[in-house]
Amino acid sequence: MDFETLVRAKNELVPRVHQLVAHLDPERKALELEQIEEKSAAPGFWDNPDLAKPVLMARGLLTDDIATAKKLSGGLEDLETALELSRDDSEMLGEAEVLEASLRQSVDSSELRMMLSGDLDRANAIVAIAPGAGGTESCDWAAMLLRMYLRYCELKGWPTEMIDYQDGDEAGVKGATFIVSAPYSYGYLRAEAGVHRLVRISPFDSAKRRHTSFAAVYVSPELDEDIDLDIPDKDLKIDVFRASGAGGQHVNRTESAVRFTHLPTGIVVSCQNERSQIKNRATALKVLKARLYVVERKKFEEKVAAASGEKSDVAWGSQIRSYVLQPYQMVKDHRTGCETSQTQKVLDGDLDEFIRTQLLAKSLKPSE
């Protein structure tokens, strides 16, 4: 960019930075952080981990918000300084351009965070992937989606824990569930819930014909301890079995894996990552409650929409996105119209534009 273009770009960023910093309110949050630090230093605070956990989570969120505000303000100051110096030193123009790109990326990311204002958007995410009808083709597609989301989390620096993984008969996966332990991960990933469609030349077809495969992605929030759902015993079918795949001699030789089937809804969840059946039962029950919470909330939102005469959002089981690899290259989100021909980048975890566009579309709805 030349100097004048950079100045215009900086001027466009100034009000956005000021709005974000005002929203983050670092001075007020610094006072709240001091109060939390005093509370965590009190005798006996660590005696009850269940009570300490939400306090520590609040401390982490406050620390992140304060750091974000400082980064935005500092980035704007650095850019303004670089632009001022570049009036007399043309070599500074390149540095100013780098600073502008970095600040713009920070602003875009922070604005996206502001859209996450739902009750549970700050929660960890539980992501489950299941192949649709189609045998090996769909199982392979489910494995591709699993890799895509794990790569997305890796690029974000979000820790993940696989709690269930079932190999396909010939290739791919029959099902997989993992937990993303990062603030706001549910707020971001909930935009990915739905059915994903793949069109490609099948690597399993000797005639090299084009096949269409489907896989479903379910995203649930990891619920706090104070949010509890009562599930009657009569509504549950519980199976125990030997864990499959790698996991050590003990995991494969004992019936430590657990599967819960919720009979009224047909939701099935399983966990096999722990050696202890008790721990697997606890994790599977947590995932089931999270899935049921999403279902019940969806029913409530649909009732509200029906009462107000509004058309409900895309329901479970609907196709939200197509990934076409043959006869052309295209990934298109059917809810927003967002599309790209960079299919490999998307399958490698580059989902920010799709998620941002969907969250922006949701935030602009009058009823949201």
CATH number at residue 53: 1.20.58.410
Give CA–CA dist 151/350, Å, rounded. Answer: 8
pLDDT, position 15: 94
User: Which residue's structure tokens are 């029913």?
Assistant: 299
Same domain assignment for residues 250 and 325: yes
Digit-by-digit pLDDT tens for the chain (368 residues) are 788 899 999 999 999 999 999 988 999 999 999 999 988 888 888 888 777 877 887 888 889 889 999 999 999 999 999 999 988 887 888 999 999 999 998 998 888 888 787 778 888 999 999 998 778 899 999 999 999 999 999 999 999 999 999 998 888 999 999 999 998 899 999 989 999 999 999 888 878 888 899 999 999 998 876 566 778 889 999 998 877 654 444 445 567 889 999 999 999 999 988 888 888 998 998 899 898 988 887 776 665 555 534 443 333 346 899 999 988 999 999 999 999 999 999 999 999 999 989 988 876 554 44
Give CA–CA dist 110/269, Å, rounded. Answer: 34
pLDDT, position 226: 58
Same domain assignment for residues 182 and 292: yes
Q: Is residue 119 part of a domain?
A: no
Give me 127's structure tokens.
């992501």
Give CA–CA dist 34/58, Å, rounded. Answer: 12
Same domain assignment for residues 106 and 142: no
pLDDT, position 355: 92
For residue 15, what is the enclosing H or E element?
A: helix 3-24
- Domain span at 353: 125-308+315-363
Give me 180's structure tokens.
């993303």
Q: Is residue 171 part of a domain?
A: yes
Across the beta sheet with 257-262, the strand order is: 236-241, 257-262, 267-271
Same domain assignment for residues 278 and 345: yes
Same domain assignment for residues 193 and 77: no
Same domain assignment for residues 91 and 181: no
Same domain assignment for residues 181 and 296: yes
CA quadruple 189, 195, 196, 201: dihedral, nearest 10: 160
Same domain assignment for residues 92 and 194: no
Q: Output phi, psi for 271, to 5 deg.
A: -145, 135
Give CA–CA dist 301/294, Å, rounded. Answer: 10
pLDDT, position 303: 59
pLDDT, position 316: 39
Same domain assignment for residues 103 and 130: no
Q: Output phi, psi for 40, to 5 deg.
A: -70, -20
The count of structural domains within the chain is 2
Same domain assignment for residues 96 and 187: no
Domain limit, last residue, from 57, 86, 114: 114
